[in-house]
Structure 1
Amino acid sequence: MILVMGHIRMKAGEAARARDAMVKHMADVAAEDGCEHYSFAFDAAEPDTIRISERWTSPEALAAHGDQPHQKAFGRALRDYAVEDVSVKAWDGQFWRTLIGD
């Protein structure tokens, strides 16, 4: 299992403007083979910071994701917004235990 976490920091008001593009991209990526979870979330304390959360079945699935036309198009589309900083990192991991709920 590969876990990916990161953020996209945008100038004031830009994250809300990018919302529709992010929602569409999440749906496109969720349909990819090997994608178990893919989401963008607005940070409650910093609304122009988007938190990235992903879970992939394998390094190969994550690599294939990077080659998808919609992934490359999304990267290009981010140029339409005032992005201040991007950081995305991946870890190999395994399920440990449920902390709360199901």
Structure 2
Amino acid sequence: MSTVHVLAIITTKLGQREAVLEKFNANVPAVLAEDGCIAYEATIDADGAGPIQTPAGVDTFVVVEKWASLEALAAHGASAHMKAYAESTKDMVADRVIHVLSPS
């Protein structure tokens, strides 16, 4: 299986984005150390992008990920540090949409 890309669109409850991002960023080193993790980064709306941008919004961030395989991605989701992160942020997150994409 080839690499997979993930776009995880996380919408927090009103005013909770910075608190969730703090927990997210604390977890990044553990994720980057996982077997098969190629890239893992939280992103927010770029200032000044103008009319080409469809804003995600002030309570939303998008996680841009790249994994060596679907198996590596599955192991990531089952990891203890991801379960702990999910538990610690569950009351701050309003919605989560995950897009798993293959290179064309």
TM-score band by shorter chain is 0.7 to 0.9
Contact 1:7 1:87 in 2 (8 A): yes
Kindly state the Cα deviation for residue 31 of structure 1 after the two structures are TM-superposed.
0.8
Please give the secondary structure, in 2, of the residue aligned with 1:63. helix
Q: TM-score, normalised by structure 1?
A: 0.81
Quote the residue 1:98 is aligned against.
none
CA RMSD of aligned residues (A): 1.5
**Equivalence map 1:10-49=2 (5 Å):** 10-44=12-46, 45=55, 46-49=57-60
Identify unmatched segments of 5+ residues in structure 1.
95-102
Percent of aligned positions that are identical: 33
Instruction: Output the amino acid matched with 1:47.
Output: V
| Alpha-carbon distance in structure 1 between the residues aligned to 2:27 and 2:63 | 12
Matched, 1:60 2:99: no
Kindly state the Cα deviation for residue 47 of structure 1 after the two structures are TM-superposed.
2.2
Kindly state the Cα deviation for residue 74 of structure 1 after the two structures are TM-superposed.
1.1
Contact 1:26 1:40 in 2 (8 A): no
| Alpha-carbon distance in structure 1 between the residues aligned to 2:82 and 2:42 | 14
Kindly state the Cα deviation for residue 36 of structure 1 after the two structures are TM-superposed.
0.3
Q: TM-score, normalised by structure 2?
A: 0.80
Equivalent pairs counted in the alignment come to 93
Contact 1:42 1:48 in 2 (8 A): no
